Amino acid sequence: MSSISNQPSPPLAVEMHDIVIRFPGVLANDHVNLTLKRGEIHALLGENGAGKSTLMNSLAGLYKPVSGVIKVNGEVVNFNSPRDAISKGIGMVYQHFMLVPTQTVTENILLGLKEPRFFVNLSIYNKKIQALQEQFGLRVDPSAQIWQLSVGEQQRVEILKTLYRGANILILDEPTAVLAPQEIDDLMKTMRRLVEQDKSILFITHKLNEVTAVADRLTVLRKGKVTAEGIGIEGVTREKLAELMVGRKIIFQVDKKSQKPGEVVLEVKNVSALNNKGFPALKNVSINLHQGEILGFAGIAGNGQSELAEVITGLRSCSGSIKINGKQVANQPPGKSIDIGVSHIPEDRTGVGTAPNMSITENTIMKNYDQEPIGNRWKINFTSAREYATRLKDKYEILAPSISTQARKLSGGNLQKLILAREISCCPSLMVAVQPTRGLDVGAIEAIQNLLLEQRENGTAILLISEELEELLSLCDRIAVIYEGELMGVVEAADANLTNIGLMMTGSMRSQA
Amino acid sequence: MNLEIILHAGLATGTILLFAAIGEIFAERAGVMNLGVEGMMLLGAMAGFSTSLATQNAWLGLIMAIFAGGILSLAHGLVTIHFQADQVVSGLSLTFLGTGLALVLGEGLTGQNPPLIPNVSLPILASIPFLGSVFFTNHSILVYVGYLFIPLTWYYIYKTRPGMHLRAVGEKPSAADTLGINVYRVRYFYVFVGGCLAGLAGATISLSVSPGWYSSQTTSGQGWIAVAIVIFAQWNPVRAAVGGYLFGMLRRFILDLQGPALLFGFQNPIFMNHNLSFFLQMTPFLLTIVALVWGSQAAMRKRLGSPAALGIPYIRGERGL
Ligand SMILES: Nc1ncnc2c1ncn2[C@@H]1O[C@H](COP(=O)(O)OP(=O)(O)O)[C@@H](O)[C@H]1O
Ligand SMILES: [Mg+2]
C-alpha cells in the first residue's frame, strides 16, 4: 500500500479526497477535497444546493460516497452508518435539528448510547450533563422538554449531544441561519471555547462576517465543485467570496428608489392577541401602512411579530380593529384577506408556506385555483395550471427538475421564490413578509430583496418582519420596533440610529415620537 | 343488576381490550399504525382455541395465539416498513387477511370444549371487603397478568432505555437514526410486539373470558374498540387500561339491562321491546366514536398525543422528515 507516513507533522483531523456523491439527477459532490486541521475552525461556504450538507452528511456516516477517500486522524475510514462516525469522534449538528420534541434534554442526549443499559435514572444524568455544560459554557435546563426551548437552546442541546459522545470533530451545518443576532454571538464564543479545548470544527455558513469572526481557513463549493480549497481568511473580501459562491458579481447595495407613499392600505388599531400558549403576545398595537411603502418590524424573535402577521392574514383571532383598504379583516377567515389582496410570506416555509408533499404546480395555484382560467366552481384545469406554474417558474427563476417536483425537494432559496411567486401573482395590495431571507444564501437574498423592492415600486404596501437590522435599514421606509408585544416606537429608516433601535428591541428605550 | 357483578365482569372483558390496546400503543409509539388488530385478535383466538383442543393444554394454546398474532403482524411490518406502503391500507387488508384465515382454519371448532385458562382467587387479597371480590376473586389468571401489565408497560415506555428509543423512533425517526438507533429494527420489533399482544387478547376471549369459537362473533369488533382506546388514551398504557375496563363494564351493564323484566320496581322497557336492545348494544361503538372525536380534539388543543411520525414511512436522508 502506498502511504504518506513519512510526513512528520501531526495527522489532519479530517481529510476528504475526491469525494463524489450522486442523487437521482444531481451530482451533489463532484470530486471534492477538504481538509480540517486539528484545533482549527474551518468554514465551508456555498449557495443553497451547492452540496455542503451532502458532503458533511457523508462525513457523518449518513450518505455513502460513490468514490473518494475519507481519513479521520490519518486513518482511512469507511462509514456505513452515523454510529460508525460517532465512534471515530465525529459529531454533527444538522441543519434541521435532530431532536425529539417530546423528550427532555437529557433523554435526547442519552439516545442511542450503550449506557444507561436499561433503567434510566434521569437525575443522575442531569447532573452529568450539567457538569458538561459548565465545562463548555453551554447552559440549558437538562430536565426541560425540547419543545419548550428556544431555537438557540435547542442548538446548544445538539452541541452537547456530540460532546457527550466525546466528539472532537464537530460539524455545524448552517448553525447561524436560525439564530437571532445575540444568539449568534454566543455561538461564536462557544466555538472559540471548543477549539481552545482541542476540538476541531467544520462550520457551514453563508455569511462572510461570521467567517472572518471565527474561522481560520475556508473552502467554497459551487454546484458540487470546490472553487476555493482551504484558503486562509486573510484578505478575503465579501465581494470575492460572493463571486466564488455564486459565480457572478453580487452588488450588496440594494437599489431603493425614493418615492412618495400613497394612500393608507393597512390600518391597525388597538390590536391585542394571545400566543399559542395563551399568553398576551400583542398589546394594544396601532399602526398604519401606505401604498408603495415598506414598513419594517424589528424585534427579537418571539416578541409578537409572528402573531402580528397572523392576525392581519386572518390566521389568529384578536381584539381591536384591522382594516385593509377600508375593509375590516380582524377575526375574519383568511379567505377574506386573500380576496382583498393580502399576500403572506410566512416564517414557516414548509408548514404554512407550502404543502411540502405537493408539486410545484399545486403549490403555485393554491390561492387562485378557483379562478378562471385555472379553475371554475368544481374542476381544475390542469393544463392551464401547468402553464401558469411554468410561467412562474421561469419568471422567478425557480430551480427545480420540473414543475411536478414536490415542494419539499426544493432548496430553501427556491422554496422561498416559489412562495413569493405565488403570493405576488395573486394578491397585490398588501404583502406581509415574515423573515423572508432567513437562512438563504447571498444570491437568493439578493433575488428576494429585489422582488420586494419591485413590489414596492408597483405600489404594494409591504409589512416586513425581520431580525436582520441591516436588511431592514436598506429596504424599509419606516421601521417599527416591537418588544414583548408592545410597539416601542416607529422611526424613519433614513435617519435611524442603530443603537437606539437596539435599545428599543430589548425594551430599554421607548421613542417619544 | 348488581354493581359487584358488573365491575367484576368489566375487569374480565376489559382485560381483552387492555392487551390489544397496549399492543397497539407499542406499535404506534414506534410510528406504525396497525389497523389490523381485529384480524390479529381473531386469528389469535382461533389459534389458541384449536391448539388447546389439539394438545389438551390451554397454555400451549395461549403461546400459539401470541405467536399467530405476532407472525401475522410481520406481514404488516414488511409492507409498511420495508416497502413503505400506506399504513392504513395495509392495516385494513390485514384485518381481512386475519379474519379470513381465522374463519377458514377455524372451520368445525364451534361447540368444542378444549381446556381453558383457569380462574383463581388470590389468597388474602380476595378477603378485602367489596374490592376483594371485585378485583381478586374468581378471575382468569390473565386478568391478574393484565393488572401487572399496566405499571410494567408504563414504566418500560417512560423510564427505560428501550422505552426511550421507542418513543424517539415514533416522534423523530431521523434523530434516532443519526444517533445510531436502527429505526427499521425498532419498528419491526414493536409491530411484532403489538401483534403478539393482539393474539394474546384473542386467546383471552376464546380460552378464558367468554370461552368458545363463534367465528367472527368471537371478537365482534373489539379490535376496533381497542384502536379507539389507544387514541382516547393518548398512547398512555395506564389510560388505555382504564378505558379498557370502562368499556368492559359498559358492555356488561348493557347486557344486564336487558335481562330482568322489572328494573328498580318498574317494567323494563328494554325487556319488552327487543329493538331497543339492539340500540343499546350499539352504545359502546357510539361511545367509541365520541371518544375518538373528543380524544383527537383534546390532543389537538394540547398539541400532544399522537406520535409525530405516526403513519409516515422512514427513508434515510429524505428531505422534510
Ligand atoms: N436526499 C436527497 N435526494 C435528492 N437530492 C438531494 C437530496 N439531498 C440533497 N439533494 C440535492 O443535492 C444538491 C446538494 O444539496 P445540499 O447538500 O443539501 O446543499 P447545501 O447544503 O449546500 O444547501 C441539491 O441539488 C439538492 O437538491
Ligand atoms: Mg444544507
**What per-residue string of b and e applies to A292-328 under the rule 16 or more CB within 10 Å gives b?**
bbbbbbbbbbebbbbbbbbbbbbbbebebebbbbeee
CB A78 within 8 A of CB A93: no
> Thinking of the domain B3-117+140-304, which architecture would CATH place it in?
Orthogonal Bundle (1.10)
Chain A touched by B276 (CB under 8 Å)? no
Place of cell 410494567: B152
Taking the CB of residue A288, how many other CB atoms lie within 10 A of it? 17
Query: Is A82–B180 a contact, with Cβ atoms under 8 angstroms apart?
Result: yes
Q: Inter-axis angle of helices B222-232 and B183-204, to 10 degrees?
A: 130
Chain A touched by B165 (CB under 8 Å)? yes
**Angstroms from A409 CA to nearest CA on chain B:** 6
Chain B touched by A76 (CB under 8 Å)? no
Query: Is B161–A350 a contact, with Cβ atoms under 8 angstroms apart?
Result: no
Place of cell 396497525: B34
Strand, coil or helix: A120? coil
Chain B touched by A99 (CB under 8 Å)? yes
Place of cell 399545486: A362
Q: Which three cell numbers stand for residue A6?
A: 513519512
- Which residue's C-alpha comes closest to atom 26 of ligand 1? A49
Cα A306 to Cα A281: distance, rounded to the nearest angstrom? 9
What chain A holds in terms of domains, given with CATH numbers, is 9-246 (3.40.50.300), 253-341+427-513 (3.40.50.300), 359-426 (no CATH)
R_g of chain B, CA atoms, integer Å: 20
Place of cell 413590489: A455
- The ligand minimizing its distance to the Cα of A50 is 1
Is there a cis peptide before residue B115, judged by omega within 30 degrees of 0?
no
Query: Which residues of chain B lie closer than 8 angstroms to A356, CB-CB?
Result: 320
Chain A touched by B317 (CB under 8 Å)? yes
Q: What is the reported pLDDT for B299? A: 56
Query: Is B172–A98 a contact, with Cβ atoms under 8 angstroms apart?
Result: yes
Ramachandran category for residue A258: left, alpha or beta (phi over 0 → left; psi -120 to 50 → alpha): beta
Q: What residue in A sits closest to B318 (Cα-Cα)?
A: A409
Q: What is the reported pLDDT for B316? A: 80
Cα B259 to Cα B261: distance, rounded to the nearest angstrom? 7
Residue A248 burial (CB < 10 Å; 0-12/13-18/19+)? exposed
Q: What is the reported pLDDT for A8? A: 56
Whole-Å CA distances, B190 to A198, A260, B23: 42, 66, 8
pLDDT tens by residue, A445-489: 888 899 999 999 999 999 999 888 888 988 999 999 999 899 999
First-to-last C-alpha distance (Å) of chain A: 76
Query: Is the pTM here over 0.95, yes or no?
Result: no
Nearest to residue B67, comparing CAs of B176, B197, B261?
Answer: B197
A439: part of which helix (H) or strand (E)?
none
Cβ(A46) – ligand 1 distance below 6 Å: yes
Going residue by residue through chain B (321 aa), what tens digit of pLDDT does each one get? 688 999 999 999 999 999 999 999 999 999 999 999 999 999 999 999 999 999 999 999 999 999 999 999 999 999 999 999 999 999 999 999 999 999 999 999 999 999 999 999 999 999 999 999 999 999 999 999 999 999 999 999 999 999 999 999 999 999 999 998 999 999 999 999 999 999 999 999 999 999 999 999 999 889 999 998 998 888 999 999 999 999 999 888 888 877 777 777 777 777 767 777 778 878 877 877 776 676 656 555 555 567 888 888 898 866 544
Nearest to residue B156, comparing CAs of B74, B232, B230, B238?
Answer: B238
- Which residue's C-alpha comes closest to atom 27 of ligand 1? A49
- The ligand minimizing its distance to the Cα of A413 is 1
Question: Which residues on neighbouring strands pair with residue B139, listed in sequence order?
Answer: B120
Chain B touched by A401 (CB under 8 Å)? no
Compute, in angstroms, the gap from residue A346 CA to the centroid of ligand 2.
21
Chain B touched by A80 (CB under 8 Å)? no
Query: Which residues of chain B lie closer than 8 angstroms to A62, CB-CB?
Result: 177-178, 316-317
- The ligand minimizing its distance to the Cα of A57 is 1
| Cβ-Cβ contacts under 8 Å for A420 (sequence gap 6 or more) | A345, A396, A436, A448, A451
Nearest to residue A87, comparing CAs of A97, A100, A72?
Answer: A72
Q: What is the reported pLDDT for B113? A: 93
Q: What residue in A sits closest to B162 (Cα-Cα)?
A: A118
Chain A touched by B38 (CB under 8 Å)? no
Query: Which residues of chain A lie closer than 8 angstroms to B165, CB-CB?
Result: 111-112
Q: Which three cell numbers stand for residue B243?
A: 378505558
Compute, in angstroms, the gap from residue A29 CA to the centroid of ligand 1.
9
Query: Is A82–B319 a contact, with Cβ atoms under 8 angstroms apart?
Result: no
Compute, in angstroms, the gap from residue A438 CA to the centroid of ligand 1.
19
Q: What residue in B sits closest to A63 (Cα-Cα)?
A: B317
Q: What residue in B sits closest to A410 (Cα-Cα)?
A: B319
Q: Where are the domains of chain B?
A: 3-117+140-304
CB B73 within 8 A of CB B16: no
CB A171 within 8 A of CB A92: yes
Cα B256 to Cα B2: distance, rounded to the nearest angstrom? 8
Question: Which residues on neighbouring strands pair with residue A171, listed in sequence order?
Answer: A92, A202
Query: Would strands A319-324 and B262-263 be described as parallel, antiparallel, or unpaired?
Result: unpaired
Place of cell 386469528: B43
Q: What is the reported pLDDT for A2? A: 44
CB A106 within 8 A of CB A125: yes
DSSP label at residue A84: H
Count how many residues are written for chain A.
513
Q: What is the reported pLDDT for B300? A: 55
Query: Which residues of chain B lie closer than 8 angstroms to A161, CB-CB?
Result: 179
Of B164, B176, B179, the CB nearest to A120: B164
CB A467 within 8 A of CB A326: no
Q: What residue in B sits closest to A81 (Cα-Cα)?
A: B180
Q: What is the reported pLDDT for A370? A: 81
**What per-residue string of b and e applies to B79-95 under the rule 16 or more CB within 10 Å gives b?**
bbbeeeeebeebbebbb
Cα B40 to Cα B97: distance, rounded to the nearest angstrom? 9
| Cβ-Cβ contacts under 8 Å for B152 (sequence gap 6 or more) | none
CA atoms within 13 A on the CB side of A135: 16
Q: What is the reported pLDDT for A3? A: 46
Query: Is A408–B319 a contact, with Cβ atoms under 8 angstroms apart?
Result: yes
Place of cell 365491575: B7
Q: What is the reported pLDDT for A25? A: 76
CB B287 within 8 A of CB B249: no
Nearest to residue A267, comparing CAs of A202, A200, A320?
Answer: A320
Dihedral of CA atoms A338, A389, A353, A287 in degrees, nearest 10, equals -40
CA atoms within 13 A on the CB side of B288: 20
CA A12 to chain CA mean position, Å: 31
Cβ(A439) – ligand 1 distance below 6 Å: no
Cα A506 to Cα A502: distance, rounded to the nearest angstrom? 7
Q: What is the reported pLDDT for B320? A: 46
Helices and strands in chain A, H and E counts: 16, 20
Chain B touched by A297 (CB under 8 Å)? no
Consecutive 10-residue averages of pLDDT for chain A (513 residues): 53 93 88 95 90 94 93 94 93 92 94 91 94 91 89 92 95 86 87 94 88 93 92 86 81 77 92 84 94 91 88 92 92 89 88 89 89 83 92 90 90 88 87 89 86 92 89 92 91 84 81 60
